[in-house]
Amino acid sequence: MQEPLVTVLVSVYNHENYIEECLRSIAAQRVDFPIEVLVGEDCSTDGTRSVLRRLEPELPSYFTILYREKNMGSVANGEDLYSRTSGKYLVDFEGDDFMLFDGRLQKQVDFLESHPDYTAVSSNSLVVGADSRPNGEKYPECHDEEYSWKEYFYSCMPGQSGSIMCRAQDYFAARDNFVALKSYDSYPGDRRNAFLWLCMGRVRCFQEQWNAYRHIKKGGSSYSATTRVNEGYVKNEVQFGRTLVEYADRYGTEDARRTARLTWYRLRLKWAFSKLGSERPGQVLRELMGERGRVGLLLSPLRWYGVLGVRTLLGRSATL
């Protein structure tokens, strides 16, 4: 049996109403290379497992559905899927999202195969609600064909996570190095990944909607639906920024080091003036004055809020 060129991972938990649309959209992809699709069903409490057992005989042979014996949690479920990956390229998908264009995987592979200096490629995403119809929201994705450090600083992602294809082994190596340095408990993986891909090389952003991202604010499993801003969240956010700096100092370019520090000091200054922060403004300012480019670092929160404010007024999504 031929080794797959692409591995698509699908993490599934309580996606009874959405998983069929997700998997059928992947099965509909037209490609001229072997692929594998690994589905991790994490002991859902709804009817997801029944839907999968009904679908399984109808899916192509390159689909493998892993029925967990007990709930592993989203992190452990994902890590197990990563460990089983054998493709040169990786797509990390969620069971409630779906692909819109049946040539998506082919287009992304063709680009990466012919552009070895690129580490990842994304597309735009259509934001949909529970009914799979556009809900009027816009994903905060890059509007340029080339992702940049500037866009990273302004919290703009190259694309929604499921829209991205990357070089699997390069990504896993960089991710392991980052995790070895991390001093936070949890923080959105898409922000870490975008930073890593820029450190590793270039990122191409196709300005076409090839992916659908389901965003359900109430009762959903999205980050915005489940996150609560408290002291723990603030600590994680600041420590994430610190990890960016440590990683960039070891593995990044000058642009990476600069962007990491801008991000870290923006977060520290932001929370130093809040009751939820553990640092005081004077402490942060004293450290900042010892850095190169301290004026830029000092002004980083104003730049960030100013640019995102203008983008919002122009109808561009700044967050979701």
Residue in 207, 44, 201 with CA at minimum distance from that of residue 141:
207
- As a whole number of angstroms, the distance between CA 290 and CA 288 comes to 5
- As a whole number of angstroms, the distance between CA 42 and CA 60 comes to 21
As separate numbers, helices (DSSP H) first and strands (DSSP E) second, the chain gives: 12, 8
- Residue with the two structure tokens 């816009």: 138
Distance (Å) of CA 87 to CA 6, 38, 283: 5, 11, 47
User: Are the C-beta atoms of 154 and 43 separated by less than 8 Å?
Assistant: no
Give the pairing type, strands 89-94 and 165-167.
Answer: antiparallel
Percentage above 70 pLDDT, the chain: 96
| Tens digits of residue pLDDT in 262-306 | 999 999 999 999 989 889 999 999 999 999 999 999 999 999 999
Question: How many CB atoms are located within 10 Å of the residue 297 CB?
Answer: 23
Question: How many CB atoms are located within 10 Å of the residue 300 CB?
Answer: 23
Residue in 154, 281, 126 with CA at minimum distance from that of residue 210:
126
Compute CA 68 distance to the chain's CA centroid, rounded to the nearest angstrom: 24
pLDDT tier for residue 168 given thresholds of 50, 70 and 90: very high
Average pLDDT over residues 180-208: 95
Residue 320 pLDDT = 64
User: Are the C-beta atoms of 6 and 38 separated by less than 8 Å?
Assistant: no
- Whole-model pTM: value is 0.94
* Backbone φ and ψ of 9, nearest 5°: -100, 135
Look at the alpha carbons of 180, 181, 185, 188 in this order and tell me if their dihedral is positive or negative: negative
- As a whole number of angstroms, the distance between CA 181 and CA 173 comes to 13
Residue 221 pLDDT = 53
- Residue with the two structure tokens 């390069």: 170
Query: What's the order of all strands across the beta sheet hosting 118-128?
Result: 63-67, 35-41, 6-12, 89-94, 165-167, 118-128, 202-214, 98-99
Residue in 30, 188, 18 with CA at minimum distance from that of residue 107:
30
Whether 217 shows a pLDDT value over 80: the answer reads: no
Write down how long the chain is.
Answer: 320
| Tens digits of residue pLDDT in 23-55 | 999 999 999 999 999 999 999 999 999 999 999
For the chain, first and last CA: distance in Å? 42
Average pLDDT over residues 140-146: 96
Angle (CA) 226 134 48, round 5°? 55
- As a whole number of angstroms, the distance between CA 157 and CA 153 comes to 10
